[in-house]
Each structure stands twice: as C-alpha cells, then as structure tokens.
C-alpha cells in the first residue's frame, strides 16, 4: 500500500518552456502511475497553474519552432480527471493575486491557510517543492 | 539600422529555469536584426551547446518522440547561429572551458568554441552593451 503523499508546489513556471510542463506536476503524475497515492496543493505563485484558458505561444529561435508549448491548466485538469490526483489551491494566495474562483479549472479544490494543518494530518509524507 | 555589438553572459543550466527562455528570445531578436553578438556561456550554461543532448518521448503526455518534439538547447543554439548568419550578423559563442570540463560537456555545436574569462573580458571591452543574465 503506497504511503499517502501531499505535494506542496510553490515554485511556478520554472523551465516550463524547455520541459513543456512543470517538472513536479510531471513527477507526481508519473509516480501516481507507478502506484503512488498523491495529492497536490498549489500555493504562492503556483496557484496560477489552476487558471483555465492559459497558454503560451511556442518559442521561436531562428527557424526552430516549438510545437508543444506548455499548458499548465491542461496539466492540472489531467491530474484531476485522468490520474485521480486531488488538487487544492490556497484561497488566500488566489485572493492576493486577484484570481476569482470561477477562473479555475473544474475540479480544483479550495483550502484556506488555516485549514492546511488539518489537511497535513491526513498524510504520511509531505513534500514542499 | 545601425548594427551594434552586444555581449550576453549566460549562467543557467538547460532545463533549470525560465532565464534561458528569456535569453533565447532576446538573442533571437538580436540575431534577426543582424547585430554582432557575443555569448559567454558560463557555469551551467556551458552545457547549452552540448551536442549529445537528445529529445525524448513523454509517456506522461502520452506522446511519442516525434509528437513530443522536445526542445533541446543545442538545436536552439544552432538555430541562433543560422539566424544571425542569414541576417548578416555573427555570433561568437564561447563555452567556458573549465565549466565544460567539470561537466563533461566538451562536444559543442559547430560554430561555437571553447574559451575562458579572457574572452569575456575581450567581449566587454569591444561591445556597445553587455547583458548579464545570472543564475539566482
């Protein structure tokens, strides 16, 4: 039985253009596929990952063109819908950035800072990325 | 348009930060304008032009090698050199020799070269402007 693992993702948009995804969301998805039991909390700037409809045009360098630019909202939705990984966002971090709840990807759960300790108590492993 | 000589110092390793995306965008814009460009690839950036980089499929994305079309910085460096040449400019891309040795990345994209801090000093003295994009 896999240990229940909570992954707090705070570093955001680091190398996503080169990797074509967020390396930690990717890692969690891969580990879930390997039998893990993971949950994600997006905090700080990473709450922006949960905004629906975002995307970046592919990078162009000379005649080299990127065809698979990252879509963080798509990756968050994939975690929730296809991999059954719960994804929380910290409410206060949304509010500080002026992000409304109806802008979020469907299925994202809200958690307040005050409620985080209770959430932490449900997990055997907590990783802060 | 007046052609300038511009020097860039890069420090980040591939696949570690957004700094290099910004750097490549700026370099691309300068190459399209035909400026004379110098790049000093220091520390982790010495691996940008390493020719043994290879793209990979991505099972998490459900994409094979061709579909994923994973970026490699060696291809971006080669594209920059070609873009500069197409527009009448030139890029002198120097890979810090000791940084390269430490990392075992001593096989470069053709058109880039091994160098040292002395090259960077020469670049500084000869450039209209210099932009350092440091690692943090």
Chain segment B74-113, per-residue pLDDT in tens: 999 999 999 999 999 999 999 999 999 999 999 999 999 9
Model confidence band, residue B1 (pLDDT cutoffs 50, 70, 90): confident
Instruction: State the CATH number of the domain containing residue B40.
Output: 3.40.1260.10
**Chain A residues with beta carbon closer than 8 angstroms to that of B91:** none
Say what the ipTM of the complex is.
Answer: 0.81
Q: Report all structural domains of chain A as residue ranges with CATH numbers, in order of start.
A: 4-54+68-128 (3.40.1260.10)
Model confidence band, residue A94 (pLDDT cutoffs 50, 70, 90): very high
Which residues have CB under 8 Å from B9's CB, separation 6+?
A: B39, B40, B42, B120, B130, B131, B132, B133, B134
Please report the number of interchain residue pairs, chain A to chain B, with beta-carbon separation below 8 angstroms: 72
**Chain B residues with beta carbon closer than 8 angstroms to that of A14:** 16-18
Q: How far is A119 from chain B (nearest CA, A)?
A: 27
What is the total count of domains within chain B?
A: 1
The half-sphere exposure of A46 on its side-chain side, counting CA atoms within 13 A, is 25
pTM: 0.86
Q: Does A73 touch chain B (CB under 8 A)?
A: no
Structure tokens at B119: 């090259």
Nearest Cα residue in chain A from B55: A19
Model confidence band, residue B135 (pLDDT cutoffs 50, 70, 90): confident
Chain segment B120-132, per-residue pLDDT in tens: 999 999 999 999 9
In DSSP notation, B40-58 reads EE-GGGGGTTBTT-----B
Which helix (DSSP H) or strand (DSSP E) does residue A128 occupy?
strand A125-128
Q: Does B76 touch chain A (CB under 8 A)?
A: yes
**Chain B residues with beta carbon closer than 8 angstroms to that of A19:** 15
């Amino acid at each position: 039985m896999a240990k229940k693992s909570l992954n707090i993702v705070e570093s955001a948009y680091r190398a996503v253009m080169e990797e074509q995804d967020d390396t930690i969301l990717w890692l969690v998805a891969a580990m879930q596929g390997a039998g893990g039991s993971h949950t994600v909390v997006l905090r700080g700037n990473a709450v922006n990952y949960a905004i629906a409809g975002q995307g970046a045009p592919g990078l162009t360098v000379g005649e080299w063109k990127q065809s698979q630019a990252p879509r963080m909202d798509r990756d968050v939705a994939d975690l929730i819908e296809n991999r059954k990984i719960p994804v929380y966002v910290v409410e206060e971090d949304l509010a500080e950035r002026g992000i409304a709840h109806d802008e979020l990807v469907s299925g994202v759960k809200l958690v307040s800072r005050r409620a985080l300790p209770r959430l932490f108590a449900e997990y055997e492993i907590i990783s802060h990325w | 348009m007046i052609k300038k000589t511009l020097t860039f110092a890069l420090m980040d390793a591939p696949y570690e930060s957004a700094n290099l995306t910004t750097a490549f965008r700026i370099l691309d814009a300068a190459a399209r304008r035909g400026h004379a460009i110098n790049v000093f690839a220091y520390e982790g950036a010495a691996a940008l032009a390493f020719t043994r980089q290879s793209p990979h499929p991505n099972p998490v994305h459900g994409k094979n090698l061709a579909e994923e079309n994973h970026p490699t910085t060696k291809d971006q460096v080669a594209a920059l050199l070609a873009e500069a040449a197409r527009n009448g400019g030139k890029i002198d891309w120097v890979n810090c020799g000791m940084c390269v040795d430490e990392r075992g990345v001593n096989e470069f994209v053709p058109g880039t070269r091994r160098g040292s801090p002395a090259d960077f000093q020469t670049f500084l003295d000869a450039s209209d402007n210099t932009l350092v994009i440091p690692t943090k």
